[in-house]
């Protein structure tokens, strides 16, 4: 029983190659590898079909639509090809709104990515060693990530409301704020620090904070898993050599964590760049939070301008690919060397 | 002298981070738990109590009410917000998505983890590329196609889109588990005369059950929480709204008191949170397996 299985398939795999019985070979329908090929293709085909119909074909069609003058009303009668034009792109690149929205998207994505990964790293380091109630806290910390975005966005909206929100009420009581702060609808909030006045994009920062809060558990999970796989000997050796806490982190732990952190940054960057729900639900894209995904949605549903929406989505996807291309060109190899 | 200084730095850091750690833990506990406590708290308060004292973090016994839940769940005909209907829609779409996704993903993951077929190297990259493209990019053509096919306001159409969005990550999760099942078990089954399908059904499926359940739960959560496509396809038909969509649409208006909507968010959140806690270990391991060996 224990010896037979490893031997048997080898014999099966080599037998087609043995040429001593060619007549028999013609009778045999398929070799093992061909059978595996058939079975593999058959098993993958449902997935492939769904992805093809609902993802790949729509993407290709978006590319076509982006080069056409297509409004939702007349798209019914329109053929797949026709009225080629570059009007959509001319319109997009010519409008100031697009460039500012691309800038906002970049700030939003970079801020949310960095924030959530750093917070996740801090959380993983704090929860590394066991303590009473760690399991419970670990589970509770995943709540922001698993809870429905609509529900948590609504809670934030209510909590930050200038009229009935808990944050403004406590702010007035504890910090003596004179006026309630409309976190989600203030484009620029004037802060004076050491006699200087700054304008900070409050709504954008609030949205970034929300994003960090919602996605740090994701980073936390991955970093904690990696952290627990770091061999103890490494740190003990550093300890014996007299390395302090910060030195052990900087020179022992961080290099070990770098690959997973880099992976998380790339993942979070892609997912946040394409994110629509969070900003739409919190601010509706107003008050300086007009990220590109929300702009595409507006073009589609408010103006029914399918062509312009498609063109913008396409430009968005291409800029993401260019950014990722740069990343892999300049940093991809380095990360691999470190790992 | 230098030795003493180094030692004291080490001691200082040891003590400093020892204290800081507890502050961080307390901070994390507050930021993750407080918003959810606040959600439940507001859902059992009448709106007047909230407006009177927005800063209070508890509810007095005389204010305590569950009428918010009655209001939010009751059907629209009897003056409520009709969340029972929304819950039903959400459950239908989510369960349908789980079923279809697993039907496609289990064979797919098996093939990718075991079989050398034409293009087996490229196919997983292809599937993961799904997440490269913004959902809004898909939204435009899907919106148009579904409008053409008359699926634009149907739960079936929505489920199909969800399947496409969840199949790749499911395959990824299942594959990570399947590669840990020794190949010799399958060979033993083959020697005993099992065909490929029989092997999958009688040997691999029972062994992979924990992973399949974790994946199913994860897919359920994604489908239950999804918002963009529900908004695009179903916004015009209140009878087909999912809970997420219903809550978002109602919270845009000012007619419905916030405390009642808070009850709605609790209703929306509870199923996923319960499922999550029931299977936390399964899920976190399913998601991060592979992350610790890079």
Q: Tens digit of pLDDT for each residue in A58-102? A: 888 878 877 777 666 665 555 556 667 777 777 778 777 788 888
Render pLDDT for B230-253 as a digit per residue (tens, 0 to 9). Answer: 888 887 777 888 888 888 888 877
Asked if B96 has any chain A CB less than 8 Å from its own CB, the reply is no
A226 to B130: CB separation less than 8 angstroms, yes or no:
no
More confident of the two residues B75 and A74: B75
Residue A1 lies in a domain: no
> A249 lies in which domain range?
101-338
**Does A15 map to a domain?**
no
Query: Do A37 and A186 have their domain in common?
Result: no
Do A61 and A121 sit in the same domain of this protein? no
Cβ neighbour number for residue A209 with a 10 Å cutoff = 15
Q: Are residues A117 and A31 part of one domain?
A: no
* Residues of chain B with C-beta less than 8 angstroms from the C-beta of A250: none
Does some domain include residue A19? Answer: no
**Which residues in chain A touch residue B196, judged by CB atoms under 8 angstroms apart?**
35, 39
Q: What is the DSSP letter of A200?
A: E
Count of domains observed in chain A? 2
Percent of chain B with pLDDT over 90: 10
Q: Are residues A154 and A61 in the same domain?
A: no
Q: Which residue of B has its CA nearest to A10?
A: B187
Query: Alpha helix locations (H) across A196-274?
Result: 202-227, 232-240, 245-248, 254-273
Q: What is the pLDDT of residue A110?
A: 93
Question: Which of B111-125, B148-162, B206-220 shows the highest mean pLDDT?
Answer: B206-220
Task: Name the band, by pLDDT with cuts 50, 70 and 90, for residue B134.
Answer: confident
- Residues A270, A201 share a domain: yes
Q: Distance between CA atoms of B10 and A190, rounded to whole angstroms?
A: 42
What ipTM, to 2 d.p.? 0.85
Helix axes A254-273, A306-327, angle to 10 degrees: 170
Q: Would A70 be classed as within a structural domain?
A: no
Q: Which of residues 5-44 of B touch A (CB under 8 A)?
A: 6, 9-10, 13-14, 16-17, 21, 24-25, 28-29, 31-33, 35-36, 38-39, 42
Single out the residue in A65, A90, A116 at which a domain terminates: A65
B238/B89 Cα distance (integer angstroms)? 11
Residue A76 lies in a domain: no
Q: Does residue A156 sit within a domain?
A: yes
Of the candidates A102, A104, A105, A119, which has an alpha carbon nearest to the alpha carbon of residue A264?
A119
Domains of chain B, start order: 2-72 (no CATH), 82-288 (1.10.3720.10)
Same domain, A252 and A161: yes
Mutation site, A8, A40, A122, A227, interface B, largest B CB count within 10 A: A40
For residue A2, is it within any domain?
Answer: no
H/E stretch holding A192: strand A189-193
């Amino acid at each position: 029983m224990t010896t037979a299985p490893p031997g048997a398939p080898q014999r099966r795999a080599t037998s087609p190659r043995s040429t001593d019985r060619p007549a028999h070979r013609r009778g045999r329908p398929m070799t093992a590898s061909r059978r595996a090929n058939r079975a593999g293709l058959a098993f993958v085909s449902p997935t492939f079909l769904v992805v093809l119909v609902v993802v790949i074909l729509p993407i290709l069609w978006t590319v076509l639509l982006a080069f056409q003058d297509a409004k939702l009303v007349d798209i019914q009668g329109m053929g797949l090809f026709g009225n080629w034009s570059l009007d959509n792109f001319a319109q997009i690149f010519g409008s100031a709104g697009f460039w500012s929205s691309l800038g906002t998207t970049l700030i939003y994505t970079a801020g949310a990515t960095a924030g959530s990964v750093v917070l996740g790293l801090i959380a993983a380091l704090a929860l590394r060693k066991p303590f009473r109630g760690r399991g419970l806290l670990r589970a509770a910390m995943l709540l922001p990530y698993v809870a429905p975005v609509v529900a948590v966005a609504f809670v934030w909206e209510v909590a930050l409301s200038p009229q009935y929100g808990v944050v403004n009420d406590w702010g007035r009581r504890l910090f003596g704020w004179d006026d309630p702060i409309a976190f989600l609808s203030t484009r620029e909030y004037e802060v004076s620090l050491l006699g200087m006045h700054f304008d900070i994009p409050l709504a954008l920062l609030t949205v970034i904070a929300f994003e960090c809060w919602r996605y740090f558990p994701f980073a936390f999970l991955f970093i904690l898993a990696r952290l627990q796989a770091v061999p103890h000997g490494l740190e003990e050796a550093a300890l014996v050599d007299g390395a302090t806490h910060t030195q052990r982190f900087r020179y022992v732990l961080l290099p070990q964590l770098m690959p997973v952190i880099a992976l998380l940054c790339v993942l979070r960057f892609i997912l946040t760049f394409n994110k629509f729900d969070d900003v739409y639900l919190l601010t509706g894209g107003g008050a300086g939070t007009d990220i590109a995904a929300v702009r595409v949605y507006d073009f589609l549903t408010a103006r029914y301008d399918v062509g312009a929406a498609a063109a913008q989505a396409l430009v968005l996807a291409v800029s993401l690919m260019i950014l990722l291309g740069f990343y892999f060109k300049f940093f991809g190899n380095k990360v691999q060397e470190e790992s | 002298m230098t030795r003493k200084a180094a030692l004291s730095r080490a001691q200082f850091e040891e003590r400093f981070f020892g204290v800081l750690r507890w502050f961080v833990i307390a901070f994390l506990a507050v930021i993750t738990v407080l918003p959810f406590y606040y959600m439940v708290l507001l859902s059992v308060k009448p709106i007047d109590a909230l407006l009177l004292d927005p800063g209070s973090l508890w509810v007095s016994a005389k204010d305590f009410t569950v009428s918010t839940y009655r209001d939010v769940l009751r059907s629209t005909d009897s003056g409520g917000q009709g969340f029972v209907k929304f819950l039903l829609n959400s459950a239908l779409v989510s369960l349908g998505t789980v079923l279809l996704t697993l039907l496609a993903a289990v064979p797919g993951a098996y093939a990718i983890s075991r079989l050398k077929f034409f293009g087996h190297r490229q196919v997983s990259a292809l599937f993961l590329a799904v997440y490269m493209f913004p959902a809004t990019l898909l939204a435009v053509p899907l919106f148009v196609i579904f409008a053409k096919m008359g699926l634009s306001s149907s739960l079936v159409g929505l489920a199909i889109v969800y399947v496409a969005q969840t199949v790749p990550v499911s395959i990824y999760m299942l594959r990570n588990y399947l590669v840990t099942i020794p190949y010799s078990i399958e060979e033993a089954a083959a020697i005993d005369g099992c065909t490929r399908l029989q092997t999958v059904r009688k040997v691999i499926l029972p062994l992979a059950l924990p992973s399949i359940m974790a994946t199913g739960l994860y897919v359920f959560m994604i489908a239950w929480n999804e918002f963009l496509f529900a908004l695009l396809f179903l916004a015009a038909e209140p009878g087909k709204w999912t809970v997420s969509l219903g809550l978002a649409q109602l919270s845009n208006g000012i007619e419905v008191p916030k405390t009642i909507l808070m009850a709605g968010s609790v209703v929306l959140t509870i199923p996923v949170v319960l499922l999550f806690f029931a299977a936390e270990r399964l899920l976190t391991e399913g998601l991060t397996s592979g992350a610790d060996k890079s």
